[in-house]
């Protein structure tokens, strides 16, 4: 099971009245087996302190704040990297064990492991 989604070009612009916060959807990948889901999200430029995770009801929200690592007195000659921060919202259609969720940020990739609740695991039903 492997789903690659989210085009880089689709910028998610969350515009609210007055304040305009521009965010974009990161590239992500979801893998799963009978035990857990693994979500890998590409968040280049985001330090550990810039990642915010939130699971409310069945919506998993991942925010990644890019560090503005352009020091004072530096002039941009060519720009391709987007300075926008990331926002990804995923609706989980399977109950997961929140307490055992783990997250790891390494080389700009966030890896989340969402263990399935017992009820959601596949079971073998013996034939009597």
43 binds other proteins (CB under 8 A): yes
Number of Cβ within a 10 Å radius of residue 116: 20
| Nearest residue to 13 (alpha-carbon basis) of 25, 4, 22 | 22
- Residue 2 vs 16, nearer CB to other proteins: 2
For the stretch 27-49, what's the b/e string if a residue is b when 16 or more beta carbons lie within 10 angstroms of its beta carbon? Answer: bbbbeeeeebbebebbbebbeee
One of 15, 19, 76, 119 touching other proteins (CB under 8 A) = 76
Class of residue 51 by CB neighbours under 10 A (exposed 0-12, middle 13-18, buried 19+): middle
Nearer to other proteins, 15 or 76 (CB): 76
What is the C-alpha separation between 7 and 24, in angstroms, rounded? 10
Q: Which of 16, 78, 118, 122 binds other proteins (CB under 8 A)?
A: 78
Please choose, out of 13-21, 54-62, 71-79, 120-128, the segment that lies near other proteins by the rule CB under 8 A: 71-79
Smallest gap from residue 24 Cβ to other proteins (A): 13
The residues of the shown chain that bind other proteins, judged by CB under 8 A, are 2, 4, 7-9, 29, 31, 33, 40, 42-47, 67, 69-71, 73-81, 105, 107-109
């Amino acid at each position: 099971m492997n789903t690659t989604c989210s085009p880089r070009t689709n910028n998610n612009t969350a515009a609210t009245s007055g304040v305009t916060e521009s965010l974009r959807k990161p590239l992500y990948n979801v893998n799963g087996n009978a035990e857990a889901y693994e979500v890998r999200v590409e968040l280049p430029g985001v330090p550990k302190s810039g990642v915010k995770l939130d699971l409310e009801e069945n919506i998993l929200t991942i925010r990644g704040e890019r560090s503005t690592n352009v020091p004072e007195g530096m002039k941009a000659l060519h720009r391709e990297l987007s300075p926008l921060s990331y926002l990804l919202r995923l609706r989980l259609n399977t109950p997961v064990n929140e307490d055992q969720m783990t997250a790891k940020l390494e080389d700009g990739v966030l890896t989340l492991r969402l263990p399935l609740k017992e009820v959601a695991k596949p079971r073998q039903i013996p034939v009597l």
